[in-house]
Amino acid sequence: MADPVLKWAGGKRQLLDELKARFPTTDYTHFHEPFFGGGALFFDLEPEDGTINDTNPRLVNFYKQVRDNPTDLIELLDTEFRDPDADPNPDLEYHDTNHKGKAIDEFYYQARALFNKRPYGEDFDALREAALLLYLNRTCYNGLYRENNSGGFNVPIGSYTNPDWVQADRITTASRILEDTTIHNDDFEYILDAATAGDLVYFDPPYKPMSATAYFTDYSQDGFDQTDQQRLLDVASELDDRGVHVILSNSGVMYDLYDDAGFHVEVEGATRAINSDGTNRDEVDEIIATTIAPTDQRGPTQQGLTDYTN
């Protein structure tokens, strides 16, 4: 059981036991995760092969660099980066102003401008971009990933004491786990070509908001609307028809959609850690829907939630 390298809003560390309880009792052939994000379930399982996917190209690049260039990535993180509130590095670009001419007086905002070279049409280095993503993830406000309409990462600086942005052990472990994994940057429908009978697919899409003020889809400029939610249901149903095991998590408002489609659906509570007010991170309803009949599920294990740490 490995830890994710990135912190990720909406991550499933709190639901790992509940998800694994719904795995089939029989062995599955390959594991696939079409909405990867932080990959909490994937890294916990440490699958030998299969596929992962995300529509965010910078996130996909990060995992490819972790898989293919872990030593270089760790070295870069260890040598080029500094405390987020330190002065900008005069040896790097954007030590005075960012893309829009706004003054930069902290290294964090210099790093953010460097990370945003790709969406603003500038040449970028794939390894450095991956290092910047991890650095920002570990030093930005609340570990949040959010993009503006231009695709620019726009989360402000966080407040941490001695943040560890190198994460050498986690990178090394993740690289080993990802070694034989195919990494995609596609629409989730790629899974119709990738998964075969006997495989297990876990879908964790951007959630349909529980309320008008809950924007769980804003981590990407593209979003994920009701049409996409329906497409996902259709894909999950087709995979079931092909003999592929499907497990899916979503917000509680999607219960009826999956229940009406014949999935086995249950409500689980999960504390959200993306609210700007740390005292208002209440438990919200989530569903876990699966094509695996309750009699064919593994059931609960003895491992508790207290065994998982950040």
| Residue 180 within any structural domain of the chain | no
Q: Is residue 241 part of a domain?
A: yes
Looking at the structure of the chain, the number of domains it has is 2
- H-type alpha helices, 69-125: 70-80, 107-115
CA distance 16 to 7: 15
Structural domain contains residue 73: yes
- pLDDT band of 14, cuts 50, 70, 90: confident
Distances (CA, A) of 89 to 107, 136, 160, 186: 7, 16, 20, 35
Band (pLDDT 50/70/90 cuts) for residue 207 is confident
CATH of the domain at 72: 1.10.1020.10
Q: Is 99 found in the same domain as 192?
A: no
What DSSP string runs through 274-293?
Answer: --SSGGG--EEEEEEEESS-
Cα gap 255→88, rounded to integer Å: 49
CA-to-CA separations, 114 to 118, 131, 188, 233, in angstroms, rounded:
9, 11, 29, 38
pTM (predicted TM-score): 0.88
Q: Same domain for 26 and 125? A: no
Identify whether residues 17 and 80 lie together within a single domain. Answer: no
92: DSSP letter: S
251-287 pLDDT per residue, tens: 999 999 999 999 999 998 765 544 444 444 445 689 9
The reply to whether 35 and 68 lie within a common domain is no
Has residue 7 been placed in a domain?
no
Please give the backbone phi and psi of residue 210, each rounded to the nearest 5 degrees, phi first.
Answer: -75, -20
* Radius of gyration of the CA atoms of the chain, in A: 20
Asked if residue 210 has pLDDT above 90, the reply is no
In a domain, 173, yes or no: no
pLDDT for position 161: 92
Range of the domain at 84: 63-167
Which of 167, 195, 222 corresponds to the end of one domain?
167
Instruction: Indicate whether 22 and 109 sit together in one domain.
Output: no
Give the Å distances, CA to CA, from 149 to 61, 119, 235.
Answer: 20, 10, 28
Q: Does 155 lie in the same domain as 129? A: yes
CATH number, domain with residue 260 = 3.40.50.150
Q: Let me know if 106 is exposed, middle or buried by CB neighbors in 10 A (0-12, 13-18, 19+).
A: middle
